[in-house]
A = this chain, B = another copy of it.
Amino acid sequence: MKIVFIVFDGLADRPIKELGNKTPLEVADKPNLDKLAKRGINGLLDIISPGKRIGSDVAHLSILGYDPYKYYTGRGPLEASGIGLELNSDDVAFRANFATVSEDFTVIDRRAGRISEGTEELEKAINEIDIGVDFIFKASVAHRGVLVLRGKGLSDKVSDTDPHEVGVKVMEAKPLENTAEAKRTAEIINEFTRKVYEVLNNHRVNVERVRKGKLKANMILLRGAGRTPCFEPFKERYGINGACIAKTAIIKGIARLLGMEVIDSREDFMERGKQVFEALERNDFVLLNIKEPDEAGHDGNYERKIKIIEEADKMIGMFLDYVEENYLVVLSDHTTPVSFRDHTGDEVPILIAGPEVRSDDVTTFSERSVYKGYLNRIRALDLMTYMLNLTNRLEKYGA
C-alpha cells in the first residue's frame, strides 16, 4: 500500500465578504475532492498547535514528522539545500534577495524589480569579493539566492540585514549572543553588504537595467541565518522510500536533507499527477506540494485561488481509483487568507482516503465541512505515524 500526501500550499482561507462569507474552497467547483471527502475521513489539522503561525518550511517539517522545534535551524540552510548546495556542519547559510537600494542604503525594492536575467553575472562579481572568509553566493530563481559562509569560527546567531520592508535602511547585522564568533560573523556580513553595493551598483548588468528603465539589483539582503540541521533520513525513520515533488526551493531543500527523491514539479496540473504516479514506481511515499493557492493568497486574489482549486481538482480525479488500494492524504500546510495576504495560524482541513478508513458523513472538502468529520482534530506531527499505521507498517510498542 502506497501513501500520497497532496499538500495545497496556503489553500485554507477565512470567510470572504465578497464571496458571501464563504472561502474559496467553499465556493469552488471541486467534484473530485468532494468524492474523496465522502469516501474518506475528514477533520481539522493543527500543523503545530492551535493558532501557531508558521512558514511552509516549518509546516512541511511537521507534516513529514520532524518536530520543527527540534529540527528547524532557519531558512538559510534549507534554501541552500534546495538549490543543490552541499553544506558542511560549520557552514552558516542565509537566504538572500537581490534588492534595490538608494545611495544611503534605503531599500527601494526588496526584489530588485523581480529581476529575471543577468543574475549569473552578478553572482560571479559577488563571488570575487574579499571579505576575509570563504563564502559561496549562489543566485537561484529570479531575485532569490543563498549565501553560505564557510569555515570554523562562525556563528548562526546573527540578525538579518533584510529590514522586511521598503523605505527604511538595510539593517546592520548584529550578534545575537555575546560570543566572539557571533560578533565576527556580524562584522563579516556587514562588510559583505558594503562591498556588494560597491561591486554591483555600477555593474554592467545594472547599467543596462537602468538604460531599460528597470530597477538596479545593487544590494543583497540576508535573512534566516542557520546551520544545517542533522536529520535522521526519511528511509531510516520510516522504513520506506519517499519522494517529494515541488517547485519551491525550500521544500525541495527539506526533502533533499531527508534523503528523499527530489523532483521538480511540472507546470501542468495533470502532468503533476503523472509525476506522482511515476514517483510511486520507485517509492512508497510521495508528497506533492502545490504552490499556487499560497501565491493567490499572498496576491489577495480569491478569484485566482478558486480557479486553481478547480484546475487542481481535475488532477485529483486521477486518484479516485488509486484510493481503492492505497492511501491519499489531502491537506493545506497553513492558511493564507486573501484578506491578510500572508500566512496565518488557523487550523486547516485534512482528508484521508483509502481502503480501510472508518469513513464519515462529510460530503465536501472545505475548512468548515470537515470539522464534524471522523478525525475531529489532530496534529501534523502525528500524521506520518497515523499513515504508517493505516498501511500496517508500524512496529508494536509493548506486547
Contacts and interface: CB of A to CB of B under 8 A. Distances in A.
Instruction: With a 10 A CB-CB cut-off, give which of A58, A75, A337, A372 has the most chain B CB atoms.
Output: A372
Interface string A32-74: 0000000000011000111111111111000000001000100
A111 to B, nearest CB: 15
A250 interface: yes
A20 interface: no
A89 B127 CA distance: 56
A346 B57 CA distance: 29
A396 B15 contact: no
A389 B53 contact: yes
A359 B26 CA distance: 13
A376 B374 contact: no
B397 A50 contact: no
A340 interface: yes
A343 to B, nearest CB: 6
A128 interface: no
A178 interface: no
Contacts of A51: 382, 385-390, 394
Copies in the complex: 2
Given A359-B15, A382-B49, A385-B50, A398 B340 contact: no
A297 interface: no
B58 A397 contact: yes
Given A356-B337, A398-B68, A346 B389 contact: yes
A371 interface: yes
Contact of A385 (B21, B345, B394, B396): B345
Contact of A15 (B345, B358, B383): B358
Interface in A107-139: none
Contacts of A49: 382, 385
A32 B283 CA distance: 48
**Interchain residue pairs A-B with the least CB separation, the first 9:** A55-B398, A58-B398, A51-B386, A345-B389, A51-B389, A51-B385, A53-B394, A376-B377, A55-B399
12 contacts: A23-B358, A43-B376, A44-B374, A48-B397, A49-B382, A51-B386, A52-B394, A53-B396, A54-B398, A57-B399, A68-B397, A342-B396
